[in-house]
């Protein structure tokens, strides 16, 4: 059959009755799991034999009409109908229990974590537009969603500049760009001067391709083909490219690192997969969840149930395939809780290696030494720490609760953490470190303050502590 490339955004009404459909192309946030399938179970809508059969009739009609692989849809139908005939669902006394059982059985056939059923309380369905939603109803629902997401800052959680001029961005959902664009653009402009950028997707369950396009557009000088979706119903292909223009400076020369975990899913996987195949970013962490199919959600109001149906598949222009069922394998595989430190260390070392400016290279070395000290702290015995206690002109060291403390003048006191036996750093003061200088006998003689710009100052020992 002939395939066409669609220029418009994929978002269309479904005419299958009695579905109440609010369909949008999404690499959806988090697959329907047990918690979602059981949502609203306190309503306890009961499920009898007739209702179980009707649920299966309805969802298999949707699967056969839309599911990306028709032969797999047929196998799923055969499985759940046989289970129904064999009495497997007899003990499913509520719709929420039936939804979970069907989700488990369907996934046993398709191994597709995007596919799933969920129970919907009547109150929630009543707030949704009907079979023929008016433009006003659609706009109202969209505005309600925008307001809710705005209160969550569109899931942008943290923006930070780490020592060594490395940016750190954490966001936990690819919210549609029609809502999240101003926040995403502000974030990209915040990092415009960074030499490297770490993007943390360890808690990101996916979202909209439109935000993937927007953010990725900052990383390339010219438009780049990111991904395509094949849509079964229309036998067509939708292409996604980076934009020819962005608001603010590009980050096309900035080193990119992406953090992943086994929770990273769907749209967050696409973002990682795109950059990996384009050799534009280093993926650090764990293999991702493995969900590559775009989905639409269909609601059966009379049954208090909804089903997410994957209706297409991703096609990467470089690999010719996608990450469905396999996940995205990281370039550097480490446990998720170690991914940030590892990526940060790699970033600093890479920047130092590329630098031909001794002063800038020294700043990277400073940051590397500090990070290594945090990852593998030195141990200094209590007797040595006690020997450092004393007054050093306007500086003072003393031991308190087994730790060495430092204060200069009337400034706040700070806990001194060892980098070596004589060099210390301070948790909330990245630009300053303190060295204890000793004589041949190991007795402290002075303190030297070291600053990240290369400046030093000295304070001679005046009295013991």
The number of C-alpha atoms within 13 Å of 254 and in the hemisphere containing its C-beta is 27
Contact between 80 and 56 under an 8 Å Cβ cutoff? The reply is yes
Instruction: Sort strands 444-451 and 305-310 into parallel, antiparallel or unpaired.
Output: unpaired
Cα angle 207, 209, 212 (rounded to 5 degrees) comes to 95
**Residue 244 to residue 224: CA distance in whole angstroms:** 9
Contact between 283 and 328 under an 8 Å Cβ cutoff? The reply is yes
Confidence of residue 30 (pLDDT cuts 50, 70, 90): low
**Residue 292 to residue 189: CA distance in whole angstroms:** 29
Using one digit for the tens of pLDDT, what is the confidence trace for 349-396? Answer: 999 999 999 989 999 999 999 999 888 889 999 999 999 999 999 999
Instruction: Sort strands 312-315 and 225-231 into parallel, antiparallel or unpaired.
Output: antiparallel
Tokens standing for residue 48: 């009898």
- 3-state per-residue secondary structure call for the chain: CCCEEECCCCCCCCCCCCCEECCCCEECCCCCCHHHHCCCHHHCCECCHHHHHHHHHHHHHHHHHHCCCHHHHHHHHHHHHHHHHCCCCCCCCEHHHHHHHHHHHHHHHHCCCCCEEEECCHHHHHCCCCCCCCHHHHHHHHHHHHHHHHCCHHHEEEEEEECCCEEEEEECCECCHHHHHHHHHHHHHHCCCCCEEEEECCCCCCECHHHHHHHHHCCCCCCCEEEEEEECCCCEEEEEECCCCCCCCCCCCCEEEEEECCCCCCHHHHHHHHHHHCCCCEEEECCCCCCCCCEEEEEEHHHCEEEEEECEEEECCCCCCCCCCCCCCCCEECCHHHHHHHHHHHHHHHHHHHCCCHHHHHHHHHHHHHHHHHHCCCCCCHHHHHHHCEEECCEEEEEECCEEEEEECCCCCEEEEECCCCEEEECCEEEEEEEEEECCCCCEEEEEEEECCCCEEEEECCEEC
Percent of the chain with pLDDT over 70: 89
Using one digit for the tens of pLDDT, what is the confidence trace for 182-200? Answer: 999 999 999 999 999 999 9
**Residue 349 to residue 88: CA distance in whole angstroms:** 58
- Separation of CA 144 from chain center: 24
Phi, psi of 257 (to 5 degrees): -130, 135
Tokens standing for residue 298: 């269909």
State the chain's mean pLDDT as an integer.
89
Question: Comparing C-alpha atoms, which of 185, 199, 347 is closest to residue 271?
Answer: 199
Contact between 89 and 98 under an 8 Å Cβ cutoff? The reply is yes
Which domains, from first to last, does the chain contain?
Answer: 4-126 (no CATH), 153-293+312-353 (3.90.226.10), 382-464 (2.40.128)
Largest separation between any pair of C-alpha atoms in the chain:
91
Residue-level pLDDT at 135? 83
More confident residue, 292 or 32: 292
Using one digit for the tens of pLDDT, what is the confidence trace for 311-330? Answer: 999 999 999 999 999 999 99
CB atoms within 10 A of CB 96: 26
Stretch 177-184: mean pLDDT: 97
Using one digit for the tens of pLDDT, what is the confidence trace for 426-460? Answer: 988 989 999 999 999 999 999 999 999 889 999 99
pTM score, whole prediction: 0.84
Question: Comparing C-alpha atoms, which of 269, 242, 258 is closest to residue 197?
Answer: 258
Give 177's contacts (C-beta < 8 A, 6+ positions apart).
Answer: 184, 208, 210, 211, 213, 214
Residue-level pLDDT at 31? 52
Using one digit for the tens of pLDDT, what is the confidence trace for 90-120? Answer: 999 999 999 999 999 999 999 999 999 999 9
Question: Comparing C-alpha atoms, which of 242, 278, 285, 282 is closest to residue 264?
Answer: 285
Confidence of residue 130 (pLDDT cuts 50, 70, 90): low
Instruction: Say whether pLDDT at 10 is over 50.
Output: no
**Residue 206 to residue 213: CA distance in whole angstroms:** 13
Instruction: Say whether pLDDT at 416 is over 60.
Output: yes
Residue-level pLDDT at 428? 85
Using one digit for the tens of pLDDT, what is the confidence trace for 214-244? Answer: 999 999 999 999 999 999 999 999 999 999 9
CB atoms within 10 A of CB 116: 28
Residue-level pLDDT at 147? 95
Contact between 407 and 396 under an 8 Å Cβ cutoff? The reply is yes
Confidence of residue 138 (pLDDT cuts 50, 70, 90): confident
């Amino acid at each position: 059959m002939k395939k066409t490339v669609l220029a418009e955004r994929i978002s269309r009404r479904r005419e299958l009755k009695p579905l109440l459909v609010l369909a949008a192309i999404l690499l959806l946030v988090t697959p329907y799991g047990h918690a979602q399938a059981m949502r609203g179970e306190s309503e306890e809508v009961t499920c009898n034999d007739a209702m179980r059969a009707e649920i299966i009739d309805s969802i298999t009609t949707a699967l056969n009409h839309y599911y990306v692989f028709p032969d797999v849809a047929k196998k799923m139908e055969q499985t759940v109908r046989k289970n129904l005939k064999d009495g497997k669902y007899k003990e499913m006394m509520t719709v929420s229990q039936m939804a979970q059982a069907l989700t488990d059985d369907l996934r046993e056939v398709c191994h597709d974590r995007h596919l799933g059923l969920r129970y919907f309380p009547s109150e929630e369905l009543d707030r949704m537009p009907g079979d023929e939603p008016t433009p006003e109803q659609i706009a109202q629902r969209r505005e309600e969603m925008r307001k809710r997401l705005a209160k969550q800052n569109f899931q942008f959680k943290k923006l930070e500049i780490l020592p060594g001029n490395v940016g750190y961005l954490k966001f936990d959902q690819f919210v549609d760009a029609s809502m999240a664009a101003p926040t995403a653009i502000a974030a990209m402009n915040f990092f415009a001067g960074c030499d490297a950028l770490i993007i943390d997707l360890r808690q990101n369950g996916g979202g909209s391709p439109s935000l993937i396009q927007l953010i990725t557009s900052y990383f390339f000088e010219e438009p780049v083909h990111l991904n395509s979706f094949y849509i079964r119903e229309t036998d067509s292909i939708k292409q996604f490219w980076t934009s020819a223009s962005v608001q603010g400076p590009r980050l096309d020369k900035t080193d990119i690192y992406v953090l992943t975990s086994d929770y990273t899913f769907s749209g967050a996987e696409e973002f990682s997969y795109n950059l990996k195949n384009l050799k534009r970013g280093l993926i650090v962490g764990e293999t991702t969840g493995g969900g590559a199919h775009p989905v639409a959600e269909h609601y059966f109001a009379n049954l208090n149930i909804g089903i997410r149906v994957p209706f297409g598949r991703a096609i990467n222009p470089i690999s010719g395939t996608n990450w469905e069922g396999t996940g995205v394998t990281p370039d550097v595989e480490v446990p998720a809780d170690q991914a940030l430190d590892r990526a940060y260390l790699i970033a600093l070392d890479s920047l130092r290696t590329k630098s031909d400016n001794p002063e800038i290279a020294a700043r990277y070395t400073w940051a590397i030494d500090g990070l290594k000290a945090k990852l593998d702290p030195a141990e200094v015995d209590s007797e040595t720490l006690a020997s450092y206690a004393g007054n050093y002109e306007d500086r003072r060291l003393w031991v308190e609760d087994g730790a060495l403390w430092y204060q200069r003048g009337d400034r706040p006191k700070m806990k001194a953490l060892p980098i070596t036996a004589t060099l210390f750093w301070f948790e909330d003061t990245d630009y300053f470190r303190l060295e204890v200088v000793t004589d041949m006998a190991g007795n402290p003689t002075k303190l030297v303050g070291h600053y990240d710009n290369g400046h030093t100052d000295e304070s001679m020992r005046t009295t013991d502590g």
